[in-house]
Amino acid sequence: MHDNRLPFRRLCRDRPRQPNPAQRIRHYSYCDRFANIAAIVRVGATDHPLHTPACHHFLYRSLDYWDDADIDEDFLAHRRSRRARIGHDTWIGHGAMIKPQVTLGDGAVVASGAVVTRDVARYMIVAGTPDRVLRPRQPPEIAECLVALAWWDWSLDALRMAPEDFRELSAEAFLDRHDG
């Protein structure tokens, strides 16, 4: 911690505090700082080939089924290219699924049980299957200022001095106090 920042493991966990094998954050998913991810969430949940006569794993992971078979490198490369990204200061509720090639903007909130199939704009709240926008978490002008302030990049010392402001001030008052 030479740069006085919080270690990654304290900012974005790839598993809940209580072990839960049902939660999956897939390879090639990227998570920024201060992402809150509830239990039984899947991020970057993989797809199966739909253009072929069958959609089973044996098509692209044939080696798992037969010792003399190969794997479908093209399909697996396609999967790897479809990255899910989770922005700063996000909240993903219990049982939600974020599909591949989806970006959650900074400050976005995903309701419990939602299936997110498209990008979610900064500071928007989405719910449902498939997801739909419920409302903004913050007005657009406040959201833009919070992104510009980028409190998630503050040093550990700066964050340590601000918990009361985060708890007690409105977003607008917080921005006024912290030169947002």
pLDDT tens per residue, range 68-105: 999 999 998 888 888 899 999 999 999 999 999 999 99
CA 110, CA 32: separation in Å to the nearest integer?
Answer: 15
Give a three-class secondary structure readout of 102-124: CEECCCCEECCCCEECCCECCCE
pLDDT, mean of residues 146-153: 97
Residue 33 structural domain? 8-47+82-137
28 pLDDT more than 70: no
Unique residue bearing structure tokens 């200061």: 89
Q: Are residues 105 and 171 in the same domain?
A: no
CA 70, CA 93: separation in Å to the nearest integer?
Answer: 38
Task: Evaluate if pTM is beyond 0.95.
Answer: no
Name which of 152, 102, 89, 155 is nearest 131 in CA terms: 102
What total number of domains does the chain contain? 2
The pair of three-digit structure tokens given for residue 43, joined into one six-digit string: 């991020």
SS3 15: coil
**Is residue 54 in a domain?**
no
The pair of three-digit structure tokens given for residue 169, joined into one six-digit string: 């001030």
- Of the two residues 50 and 144, the one the predictor is more confident about is 144
Pairing of strands 132-136, 124-127: antiparallel
Q: Are residues 104 and 159 in the same domain?
A: no
141 pLDDT more than 80: yes
Q: Are residues 34 and 88 in the same domain?
A: yes
Q: Are residues 88 and 27 in the same domain?
A: yes
